[in-house]
Structure 1
Amino acid sequence: MSSHQKNPPIPHLARRVWRDPVLWLAFGFGSGLAPKAPGTFGTLPGIALACGIGVLATSLAVPAGYLMAAAVLLLTPIGVFLCGRASEKLGVHDHGGIVFDEIVGVLIPFILIPVTPLNLLWGFVAFRVFDVLKPWPISWLDRRVSGGLGIMVDDLLAGIFALAALLILSRIFPAAFFAG
């Protein structure tokens, strides 16, 4: 990649995102174009997807966690491809607007946590905390793994950390968290 800066100016970025299907998907249907906190805005389509998967699971009478795990397994290699190609097209490794990784990562807590309105909020917050703070080994992987896999892996691990934190909190505060 030609730039190590996280979000260098890219001429006509919004126009490019809206016209290029790879960039449009990698930028979370345009949500990654938010001028402030694109990762936070980019996580919102993931929350909407988790909600949709929860509704689908209910209508099919199957555990939502199974469908959530299937979605993560399906979307991860797609994300590796999309994020890698978007990074190449922009000439920037892991541009902040590339948010497909957030969309997939935020699904992970809902593999074991029920999809309820309150849990969607807690899952969103926990995922964003770990994605932003990047505790070890997330930060280590973020610095050392490149390409599309490098873009995806830190968010997948942030999702796993968020899941672990929420499972611990659900044991400590069972009445206040995760009812449903």
Structure 2
Amino acid sequence: MLKKSTAPGWRFLFTHPAHFIACGCGSGLSPWAPGTIGTLFAWASFPLLQLLMTGTTLLAFLVLAFIIGVAAAQRTGADLGVVDHGSIVWDEIVPFWAVLFFCPDGWAWQTAAFFLFRFFDIVKPQPARYFDEHVKNGFGVMTDDAFAAAYTVAVLLAAQALLSHFALI
């Protein structure tokens, strides 16, 4: 059994498709802050998703990616012996893609989104903390980050509304 902080090797990544997905195409194998690296992977890959899909198609893809993520995280966590192993970063990737989908346009907004998402993912305000601490399966792994994404989007949209109210944007 691996410790939560011990990253599996590249070989593990290719032993099952669930491992490749859950470990974020390899981004979760980073020895340094795999959750942050997974979020950066999401940010870097989102423009490709936008080229391939728009609107409701992209939203449907995100829902499907979440559902697949539940199964992939469940299998990978079981194989690693740790439900929410640090190398499992699909739970950062899919919710951050959702954040970027709802994020106002521009690098400043996306940068704010990145830092807010990482903050909420680390702090885990309720109900994210409940899912992190009590729902010990793939659904819990994915859902606590979905709440971090929801908090991030709420703060971004509130900031956008406030700034536009004062004609600052």
TM-score, scaled relative to structure 2:
0.85
Alignment RMSD: 2.3
Gap regions ≥5 residues in structure 2: none
Q: CA deviation at 1:49?
A: 3.4
| Residues matched between the structures, number | 167
- Residue correspondence of structure 1 range 11-160 to structure 2 within 5 A: 13-56=9-52, 64-160=54-150
Determine the C-alpha separation between the residues in 2 that align with 1:114 and 1:71.
20
What residue is the counterpart of 2:157 in the other structure? 167
Q: Are 2:21 and 2:69, in contact at CA under 8 Å, matched by a contact in 1?
A: no
The one of 3, 6, 28 equivalent to 2:4 is 6
Q: CA deviation at 1:42?
A: 0.8
Determine the C-alpha separation between the residues in 2 that align with 1:115 and 1:26.
28
Q: Tell me which amino acid in the other structure corresponds to 1:26.
A: A
Q: 1:146 to 1:176 in 2, by over 3 A?
A: farther
Gap regions ≥5 residues in structure 1: 58-63
Q: 1:159 to 1:40 in 2, by over 3 A?
A: same
Q: Tell me which amino acid in the other structure corresponds to 1:149.
A: F
Sequence identity, in percent? Answer: 35
Determine the C-alpha separation between the residues in 1 that align with 2:28 and 2:160.
31
Q: After the TM superposition, which of the residue ranges 106-115 and 25-34 deviates more from structure 2?
A: 106-115
What residue is the counterpart of 1:60 in the other structure? none
Q: CA deviation at 1:128?
A: 1.1
Q: 1:166 to 1:39 in 2, by over 3 A?
A: same
TM-score, scaled relative to structure 1:
0.81
Deviation per residue, 1:6-55 (Å, 9 max, x gap)? 33x46x63321244432122111111111111000011222233222333
Determine the C-alpha separation between the residues in 1 that align with 2:33 and 2:47.
22
Q: Secondary structure at the match of 1:106?
A: helix
Deviation per residue, 1:116-160 (Å, 9 max, x gap)? 433332222221111111112211121111211011010111111
